[in-house]
Amino acid sequence: MPVVELDANGTPCFVNRTAQRLIARTGLDASGLLPPTRTSLHREALATGGCVRDAAHPVEGLTLTWSCQPLERDGHTLWYGDEVAPGDGAPGDDDHIRYRLLVDHSTDVISRHGRDGRFLFASPAIRKLLGYTPEEVIGISAYDLFHPDDRRAVFDKDPRIFHDHGFYLHLYRIRHKAGHYVWFETTSVTHRDGGTGELIDILCVSRDVSRRVATERERERLARAVESTTDYVLFVELGERLGSANRAARGRFGTAATDAGAPLEGLYRPGSLRRLREEVRPALGAQGSWQGELEMQGPGGEAVPVLTVALTDDDPDGPAGRMTLLNRDIRERKNAEAQAQKHQQEIAHANRLAATGELASQVAHELNQPLATTSNYASGMLNVIRAAPDRPCGELAAPLQKLQSQVQRMNEILKRIRASVRRGHVRRTSMDLAAVLDRARAHCEWRAEAAGVTLRLDTAADLPAADADPVQVEQVIVNLIMNAVEACAEMVPERRLVEIAAWGEDTTSVAFAVRDHGPGISPGLDGRIFETFFTTKREGLGMGLSISASIMEALGGELRLAPAPADGGCRFVGTLCRRDRRCNGDATNDG
């Protein structure tokens, strides 16, 4: 038996006489007698502390089958081999050598078992996968290492399954030497007596599939979550056809609309379907995801507002164009928002009525006495005329002058009340008109979205600062934008647009404009648009534009209705003084 000792570096440091004779006969050195994998086998034996067996190596017509075991000397291993000549049995055949090399270096465990499951042979891979050396498992029944639940499953099966099927694929848990369980997938084939059919042994090839099982179970958990969620989950294949839908979607929209192959046209309203094609698809191609509000279509044709998250299918092996749509029903939220908005509108309307009532009370209080006096003078003159119709008119001059005096007094009272309303609490300061427009646009965004109206803001880059009260100006712009949104809310989608702009008017002023694409002002009404209590709205008070105009006048500016655009709609233009060209007005400067 040839024997070779390797030092810590894997270099031969001793050979016995048999090995010396082989060296002389073959012309090889000691390293040439050992298999090419000697370095890795040397390290494996040192790392595991166990014996590495049956490493076959052909040498000049011979086959040397080596075993390697670590020595007590640090880093040394001892190699001893069997010399097998060709032709003296199957172990020397080339096929046997190749099969043996395959078994020794396979990452799967190759094992042979008796009828009772006892290990008759195990390949070296069992050390890496289960922690046992091949010698430790010989004579042990593999069934004793099975998880109890999986062992019962095996024994509950028909015992003829091996014979009937020949190959058997089995997924089970087997105990690692450290005590935990590892998922194994084993393919086995039986070897039977050709005459009697009696089972002789079982050949198995087993691999660790713990990671695959964990991944599959995680996918199953996700699948259960998708199936159980109340969101409507749709998997869309090529051609905008459904691949599948979860239980919530099937229950809400019916099986006909959610069957595999059904078109998306049956689930989304035309406008939302157009957005899926023109907006969502490009976003998925660029970013991989998209989120926004769409409208689905119920079985009865009713609109179902949803918050949609769209995800592209990131499977590199799958066809491009597939996507997943997660749709959350937001009808309750929309209804709650609508109720809240309605409530706010009712409160605002009530406040306006209260303010109007207060103003009316003030007017009535101030005018009550002069009106009573005027009535008395008029009644007196009528009595005089009735008593003496031919009385000279000159005698009525004095009471008529007193009557005129009372009319002038009422006029002054009205002027004073109007000036008081105009002045309010206004404080001019350096104002960034672009920022005020942006805040007003943001304040009105919710109303515009609800009406399907787009707000477009365009301000000049070099816009000078204005000399105004930001709060009051924002109030004016918000009123104009709200009116514009309401004006074009019922128009076709292409005309649901409100344009907001600002620019430097001249060296002394800056200007802003709010333009809608609604039906416009009816002919003959443009001259009355700023009159107090004049309105074309069913529930309006006719005070918004009047108050807005008063605020602009109080700030030294102006609000006017521009000529009607050629393509229809309505355009209001406001002007304010530049900060470096302050205007004289009723408002208080900040000094």
Token representation of residue 467: 């000399």
Q: Kindly list the averaged pLDDT for each block of 10 residues, start to end, along the chain of length 591.
A: 85 86 87 87 81 75 80 79 54 55 83 86 92 89 91 64 59 94 90 76 90 92 92 91 92 88 91 91 90 92 93 68 91 86 74 67 66 79 84 80 75 65 65 92 84 92 90 88 90 92 89 93 80 67 77 90 88 92 51 43
Same domain membership, residue 570 and residue 461: yes
Rounded distance between C-alpha atoms, residue 280 and residue 397, angstroms:
82
Q: Are residues 152 and 120 in the same domain?
A: yes
Q: What's the pLDDT at 371?
A: 77
Q: Are residues 412 and 435 in the same domain?
A: no
Which residue in the block uniquely carries the two structure tokens 């996968």?
129
Are 499 and 571 found together in one domain?
yes
Q: What is the pLDDT of residue 206?
A: 93
* Nearest CA-CA partner of 432 in 403, 393, 461, 454: 461
Nearest to 448 by CA among 477, 474, 482: 482
Specify if 179 maps to a domain: yes
Same domain, 575 and 488: yes
pLDDT digits (tens, 9 = 90+) for 54-72: 677 887 777 788 888 887 6
Task: Report the interhelical angle of 433-451 vs 331-387 (nearest 10°).
Answer: 110
Q: Is 385 left (phi over 0), alpha (psi -120 to 50) or beta?
A: alpha
pLDDT for 398: 80
Residue from 504, 511, 514, 501 nearest 457 by CA = 501
Question: Among 406, 423, 440, which residue terminates a domain?
Answer: 423
Could you count the other beta carbons within 10 Å of the beta carbon of residue 117? 17
Cα separation values, 461 from 272, 432, 503, 511, Å: 35, 12, 9, 14
User: Where a domain ends, among 104, 121, 152?
Assistant: 104
Q: Which pLDDT score is estimated for 394? A: 80
The pLDDT value given to residue 255: 83
pTM beyond 0.85, yes or no: no
**How do strand 454-459 and strand 497-504 relate by DSSP bridges?**
parallel
Q: Are residues 187 and 130 in the same domain?
A: yes
Tell me, yes or no, whether 437 and 544 share the same domain: yes
Q: State the number of CA atoms in the 13 A half-sphere of 174 facing the CB.
A: 24
Q: What is the pLDDT of residue 158?
A: 43
What's the domain count of the chain?
A: 5
- For residue 210, what pLDDT is reported? 94
Answer whether 436's CB lies under 8 Å from 522's CB. Answer: no
Residue range(s) defining the domain that contains residue 302: 229-329
Q: Are residue 70 and residue 122 in the same domain, yes or no?
A: no
The beta strands (E) that lie in 271-334 are given as 289-297, 303-312, 323-329
Q: Report the alpha-carbon distance of residue 239 to residue 242 in Å, rounded.
A: 9
DSSP string, 94-107: HHHHHHHHHHHH-S
Looking at the fold, whether 347 and 433 belong to one and the same domain comes out as no
321 and 399 in a common domain: no
- Structure tokens that stand for 458 in this block: 């365009």
The predicted structure's pLDDT at residue 587: 43
221 in a structural domain: no
Alpha helices in 388-490 (DSSP H): 397-423, 433-451, 470-488
- Of 370, 392, 423, the residue that ends a domain is 423
Question: Quick one: 263 and 381 in the same domain?
Answer: no
